[in-house]
A and B are shown apart, each in its own frame.
Chain A
Amino acid sequence: MVIWGNYFDYMDNVMFELKDVYFSYLGKFPALCGINIRINQGQKISIIGANGTGKSTFLQILDGLIFADKGVLSFCGQQLNEKIFNAVKFSQEFRRKVGFIFQNPDVQLFCPTVKEDIVFGPLQLGFAKDQIQRRLEKLVTTLNIKELLDRSVQQLSIGEKRKIAIASTLIIDPQVLILDEPTAGLDPLTTRQIIDLLIEENNSGKTIITATHDLHIVEEISDIVYVFGVDKKIVKFGQADNILNDTALLTANNLVHIHSHKHKDKVHIHPHVHLDHHVDEH
C-alpha cells in the first residue's frame, strides 16, 4: 500500500480534496465508499477501475453535478455543497475553472450545430463576443475542425463528436479538465491526437483528471493512478508504472485477464489488457 504522505508532502496548490466521501444512488445503491483523494494544480490524475466501480460518479462529484451523502469535498479550499452552487458568482467562477468532458458526446453536444455547441459554455459564462471568436478560431486551427463548424452534430463520426466535446470545454480555458473515458470507441489515430492534446494542455499548466479503463493511455496521462475497486473504494494508488506493473492488482480488479492464443505454431498464455489494443501486449 502506498503511503499518502509520500505524495502530499511536496504538493502545495491543492485544487480538489476529498475526505471520506460517500455517495449512493437513491440512498440504497452505493457508488462511492470512503474516498480520500487530494489533487494538486497541474497534476495528471487517472482513475482506473472496472465497470461499475464509481469512476463516473466520482467525476460528477468533482464537477459539482451531484453531491456527496457524507464526507467533505473542497475546491481550492472552498467546501463544495449544493447550496454554494446556488450563488451565481461562485457557480460561474467554478465553471470557468473546471471543465467536464462527458463519456457520451451525445449528452454533451446538445445544440443543433457544432459551432453553437462549442460557443455555448462561454456564452452562458458571460465571455465577450470577440474573446469567444478569438478562442474559437484558435481551437478550430488546433483541432482542425473548420469543416465541421456548420454541420449538425448527428452528421459527425464518434471521433469528430469527441473532438467537438473537447473543444466545447477547452474554449472556456478551464484550469482543471475532467474527462470521462475520453478515448472509448476511438480509432488509434484519433486516440493519439486526443492524448497529445491532453499532454499539451497539461504542459500549459492545466490539471487533468481522467477516468478510463484503457490502460494503454494511462502512463502518458498520469502522474498518479488511483485504482477503484468493486467495493467502491480506492484499492491502491501510486505512480503509473508501479500500478501498471502490478499484474496481480490489475487482475484482481478486472483490468487484465489471462488468456491463451496462437502465434504460428506456439500457444501463448499470459495476462492481457482489456479493450481495444490487443496487439500491444504481445
Chain B
Amino acid sequence: MKSNNFIERSIVGVLEFLKDAIFAEEYALKKGFLQSLDPRVKIISFLLFIVQALLTKSIAVLFFLYAICLFLVLISRIGLGFFLKRTWIFIPLFSLFIVIPAIFSPGEALLTWHVLGAKLMITRQGLDGAAIFIMRVVTCESLVVLLSLTTKHFALLKVLRIFKIPDIFIMTLGMCYRYIYLFVGLIQNTYLAIKSRVGLGVQYQRGQNIVAWNIASLWNRSLRLNEQVYQAMLSRGYQGEVSVWNDFKIRARDRLWLFGVIILIIWIM
C-alpha cells in the first residue's frame, strides 16, 4: 500500500511541478517591464547583475542588487508574495544551514558560551561572512528566477544562439520541452487507468510487473511518436538542416535599459 502511495505522490508531484512551469509562463505573457524587453538584452543585463553579485564583497551592494530585483518584480506585474515564496523556500534556507559553522570562525567575539567545557564563540567576521554568503545566494537565485518567470521558455532556448549553439540543438531542446507535457499526460492517464481497474491494493511483485509493462509501453509509444513526428517534419520540408525563426528585435527601450544597467554596475563597482 505504501509503495503505491509513493508512486502516486511522485506522479502527482511531477505533474504539479510541470503544471507550475506552465503556470509560470503566464507571467511571461503579462505586459510588464521585463516582459517587454528583448530576451537577449535581458539575459545580458541579468548576467551583469549576477556577475556583480558574485564579485562584490559588500553586503550593501548585495542589498542594493536585491532591492533592484524586487523593484523589477513589481514593475513586471509579478505578485511579490508569490515571488518571495518561490525564491525563499529551498535554496536560501539550505544555504542558511550550511553557513552555520562559518559564524563560529575566528575573529572579534560577539557572543561566547561554554558547552561541556568547550568554548563556543560567535564572531563579527563570521556573521558578516555568513550574511554576505546568504545575500549572495538569495540575490543570484532571485535574479535567475525573475529571468525565467518573465521570459518565455522557448525564447530562453533561442537566446542560446548568441552563444553559438547550433539551431538543430535548440530545435531538439524545444521539441523535448514540447513533448514532455504530452508524455506526462500519458503517464497520468495510464496510472488512472490502472487505478480504475485494479485499485490501490496491488501486491508488491504484481505492482513491479505493472510498472515494468508501462515503462515498456511508454517506450513503444514514444518510438511510434518519434516516427510520426519525423514524417510530419519531412512533410513540411525538413531535410536534415533546420532553420529557426528569429523574430527578436532590439528597440530603443532595450538599448536604454542595457546602457542604464552598465552605468549602474560601473557606479557600484
Contact = CB atoms under 8 A, between A and B. Distances in A.
B237 A124 contact: yes
A172 to B, nearest CB: 7
B212 interface: no
Contacts of A112: 153-154, 157, 174-175, 177-178
A92 B237 contact: yes
B94 to A, nearest CB: 31
Contacts of A113: 152, 154
A151 B28 CA distance: 11
Contacts of A111: 154, 171, 174-175, 178
B231 interface: yes
A123 B22 contact: no
B245 A119 contact: yes
Given A112-B178, A124-B243, A102 B232 contact: yes
B236 A172 contact: yes
A24 interface: no
B25 interface: yes
B189 to A, nearest CB: 13
A153 B153 CA distance: 13
B229 A100 contact: no
Contact of B235 (A88, A100, A154): A100
Contacts of A116: 154, 174, 244-245
Contacts of B228: 102, 104, 107
B174 A91 contact: no
A123 B243 contact: yes
B229 A107 contact: yes
Contacts of B182: 106, 154
A175 to B, nearest CB: 15
Interface of B is mostly: helix
A65 B190 CA distance: 30
Nearest to A116: B245
A91 B178 contact: no
Interface in A35-61: 60
Contacts of B157: 112
B235 A95 contact: yes
A4 interface: no
A183 interface: no
B218 interface: no
A154 B22 contact: yes
Interface in A214-234: none
Interface in B165-224: 171, 174-175, 177-179, 181-182
A155 interface: yes
B225 interface: yes
A124 B239 contact: yes
Contacts of A122: 237
B225 A107 contact: yes
A88 B239 CA distance: 8
B80 interface: no
Contact of B22 (A65, A124, A155): A155
A132 B179 CA distance: 26
A182 to B, nearest CB: 15
B120 to A, nearest CB: 54
Nearest to B171: A111
Contact of A153 (B25, B178, B247): B178
A125 B235 contact: no
A60 B228 CA distance: 11
B178 A154 contact: yes
Interface of A: 60, 63, 65, 88, 91-92, 95-96, 99-100, 102, 104, 106-113, 115-116, 119-125, 132, 150-155, 168-169, 172
18 contacts: A60-B231, A65-B234, A65-B235, A107-B225, A107-B229, A110-B179, A110-B232, A112-B153, A112-B157, A112-B178, A119-B245, A121-B237, A123-B244, A124-B236, A124-B243, A125-B237, A152-B22, A152-B181
Interface of B: 22, 25, 29, 152-154, 157, 171, 174-175, 177-179, 181-182, 225, 228-229, 231-239, 242-245, 247
Given A113-B152, A169-B236, 11 more contacts: A65-B235, A91-B237, A91-B239, A92-B239, A100-B232, A115-B247, A116-B245, A125-B236, A154-B182, A155-B22, A172-B237
